[in-house]
Each structure stands twice: as structure tokens, then as C-alpha cells.
């Protein structure tokens, strides 16, 4: 048997999150000769106990896809993490430890205060992101990876609004969209994490309007990326 800790963020309802993770991981490993049991750890991580002929292969596959919490960040390395908090002095990302991206590290996302930048790109707590640790003029700095920054700018310039939702299952999000009559106003829902999604609006759909309508139906943080005019 193999037992691993994945860097998946469990928050809000533990039971609900574990059920969603079980479903997603079962689909991930459907072609692998292994079975899994999922548990939430005391610090909100995900423990996966794996049995079967391909247990080691399965463990390596899941670690490669989701990563594991780290205890020390190394210069030159990139890490998967989650937005922990957004404050005046930066955006804190949980990669196993908490690291802060200061206003200087946010310059690739344009001008403005930290909260203005977060609002511009729909950056909300628990959003999955990738960061890197770099050295600039002898100082160690944390920043979002170029791939992450490029993705946000691509969304901003795409010609459609996007609504970011967390702490919600795909089925719950689809039900809220259907109930508010907005199914015809979107292209679809993109999965960003286990319980984190992006609603892709149609060209003439107003993202903030979607947020206003579905927000009361969901126990979720919502962010919106409004297309450039």
C-alpha cells in the first residue's frame, strides 16, 4: 500500500469536498490497476491511501498532477498553490507553507493597489495558482509564474467575461446557472481545481450580472474577469 499527501485544499464542508475529490480521482485513475481511499487531514490536506498492483505508479501519477505540500521553498523552483489571502501588502499563497507576493512581485499584472489587481483578474481565496521563487539583485522574491500571468492576461483580452467560483461542485454551479436562466448566456464551465471553476460567458453577457444573480444561491466566493473594452 502507498500513502501520500496531496496538495489539494479542503475548506468549507469537509464531507462535500472529500466526495468531490473521490469522484475526480476515481476518474483520474480509471485506467490504473489501483484503488484509493481519501481522507481529510487535520490541517486541511488530502491523504490518499492506495492499494493494488499499480499502487506505486498511481501514487507518482497523482503526486505529479496535484503536487504535495512543501516545507521549504527553493530559489529557482516553481510550485502549485492556492490563494490564501489578499491584503494591502500582498497576496499570500499556500504552497504547503505561506509565501507572500508583494506589490513589486505583482507588477506583471499591471498597475494599482493589491486589491485592485486581484479584483481585475478575479483573484479570490482558494484559487489554484502557480508561483516561482526567483532572485533579483540578490534578493529572493516570490511571483506568479509567466504561464499563470499569461493565462490571466489571455482571459482579460479574450473578448468574453469569466466568473470565478470556489467552494462549489460543478453540479451545484450548473444548477444555479440553470435556475437563474443564464444557461443560454454562457459557453460552459471550466474546471480549475476540485471545487474551483470558471464560467465562460458569451460575448454579450455581463459577468458581474451573472455574479449578482447566482451569488445568493451559492455558498461561494465569486470573482469576475471583465473583458477589456
pLDDT in tens, 34-87: 999 998 888 888 999 999 999 999 999 999 999 899 999 999 999 999 999 999
What is residue 11's predicted lDDT score, i.e. its pLDDT? 78
- CB–CB of 177/222 below 8 Å? no
Q: How far is residue 162's CA from residue 186's CA, in Å, rounded to a whole number?
A: 9
Q: How far is residue 153's CA from residue 67's CA, in Å, rounded to a whole number?
A: 25
The rounded percent of the chain whose pLDDT value lies above 70 is: 99
- pTM for the structure as a whole: 0.89
Ramachandran region of residue 26, left (φ > 0), alpha (ψ -120 to 50) or beta? alpha
- CB–CB of 133/75 below 8 Å? yes
**Sheet containing 46-51, strands listed edge to edge, beginning at the edge strand earlier in sequence:** 2-6, 46-51, 35-40
Residue 149 has pLDDT above 80, yes or no: yes
What is residue 15's predicted lDDT score, i.e. its pLDDT? 81
- CB–CB of 162/199 below 8 Å? yes
Over residues 186-204, the mean pLDDT reads 94
Spatial CA neighbour of 177 closest among 142, 207, 140, 136: 207
Q: What is the DSSP string of 24-79?
A: HHHHHTTTSS-EEEEEE-TTS-EEEEEESTTHHHHHHHHHHHH----SS--TT-EE
Amino acid at each position: 500500500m502507498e500513502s501520500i499527501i496531496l496538495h489539494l485544499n479542503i475548506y468549507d464542508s469537509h464531507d462535500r469536498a472529500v466526495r468531490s475529490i473521490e469522484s475526480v480521482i476515481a476518474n483520474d485513475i480509471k485506467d490504473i490497476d489501483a484503488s484509493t481511499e481519501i481522507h481529510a487531514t487535520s490541517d486541511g490536506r488530502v491523504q490518499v491511501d492506495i492499494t493494488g498492483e499499480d499502487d506505486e505508479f498511481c501514487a507518482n501519477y497523482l503526486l505529479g498532477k496535484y503536487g504535495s505540500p512543501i516545507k521549504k521553498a527553493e530559489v529557482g523552483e516553481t510550485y502549485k498553490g492556492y490563494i490564501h489571502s489578499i491584503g494591502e501588502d500582498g497576496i499570500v499563497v499556500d504552497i504547503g507553507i505561506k509565501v507572500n507576493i508583494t506589490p513589486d512581485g505583482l507588477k506583471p499584472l499591471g498597475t494599482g493597489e493589491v486589491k485592485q489587481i486581484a479584483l481585475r483578474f478575479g483573484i479570490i481565496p482558494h484559487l489554484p495558482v502557480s508561483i516561482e521563487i526567483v532572485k533579483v539583485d540578490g534578493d529572493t522574491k516570490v511571483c506568479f509564474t509567466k504561464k499563470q500571468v499569461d493565462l490571466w492576461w489571455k482571459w482579460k483580452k479574450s473578448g468574453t467575461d469569466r466568473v470565478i467560483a470556489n467552494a462549489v461542485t460543478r453540479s451545484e454551479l450548473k444548477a444555479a446557472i440553470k435556475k437563474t436562466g443564464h444557461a443560454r448566456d454562457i459557453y460552459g464551465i471550466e474546471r480549475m481545481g476540485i471545487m474551483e471553476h470558471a464560467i465562460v460567458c458569451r460575448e454579450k453577457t455581463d459577468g458581474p450580472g451573472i455574479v449578482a444573480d447566482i451569488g445568493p444561491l451559492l455558498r461561494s466566493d465569486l470573482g469576475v474577469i471583465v473583458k477589456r473594452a
